[in-house]
Amino acid sequence: TPVALAPGASLIRGWLDLDRQAWIADRFREWAAGPVPIRAATVRGHPMSVRTVCLGWHWQPYRYTRDATDVNGARVLPFPDWLVRAGRRALADTGHDAGEVERYTPDTALVNFYDEHARMGMHQDKDEVSRAPVVSLSIGDSCTFRLGNTDDRNRPYTDVTLESGDLVVFGGPSRLAFHGVTAIHPGTAPPGCGLDAGRINLTLRETGMAG
């Protein structure tokens, strides 16, 4: 049953069972190996503490490309159909209407890995042309996720612990809200989730890019 975090933002705890979490963690290890290896993106001259591998389109701050010209020049892996279906099911399960569910065609996943020291500062996701919802899936250690508002990076905000298996859908007025990850909680990954330490977060997005 979904819990509203804010207008347009819904959380479903334990949306992924442990077997699916472990299966996705295995896929993560394959994606991370290449053709474009997982890397810390560089923002204004500094490497992020989070490491990211992309599917479909490659995110380089602050644009999407097909080739990872900031890493090794290779083309990113295609966006798999099973993630399109997962994205649609996520919208349906969080109460989005049938028309929106049918139209939703995520074409990009940003797959983030956090070690126990990694953080993500408050930011807005504005690099997509589409304003379709973002779907977030968490696996491994829990984190403190901070959801702010659309106007002021600093306040007000609500903090929520995201745990392994949790789904969050960010649409409507929450789509352009500031958000970040303020802490990882080491040792909280549940046995059987497929990750011994650290946190994986997948975000599914529609870029709105042609072709």
Residues lying near ligand MD3 in the complex (CB under 6 A): 110, 112, 120, 125, 134, 136, 168, 170, 174-175, 177, 179, 181, 201, 203
Cβ atoms of residues 185 and 143 within 8 Å:
yes
* The two three-digit tokens of residue 159, written as one number: 């903090």
Cβ of residue 26: shortest distance to ligand MD3, in angstroms?
19
Which residue number, 24 or 168, has a Cβ lying nearer to ligand MD3?
168
Phi (first) and psi of residue 103, to 5 degrees: -75, -25
Stretch that binds Fe ion, among 17-25, 77-85, 120-128, 156-164 (CB under 5 A): 120-128
CA separation for the pair 135, 64 (Å, rounded): 18
- Number of C-beta neighbours around residue 211 at 10 A: 4
- Number of C-beta neighbours around residue 206 at 10 A: 20
CA separation for the pair 176, 144 (Å, rounded): 19
Query: In the complex, which residue's CB is closest to Fe ion?
Result: 125
Q: Which does 174 bind (CB under 5 to 8 A by kind): ligand MD3, Fe ion, none?
A: ligand MD3
Cβ of residue 163: shortest distance to Fe ion, in angstroms?
19
The single residue among 125, 176, 186, 209 that binds Fe ion, judged by CB under 5 A, is: 125
Chain residues binding Fe ion by CB under 5 A are 125
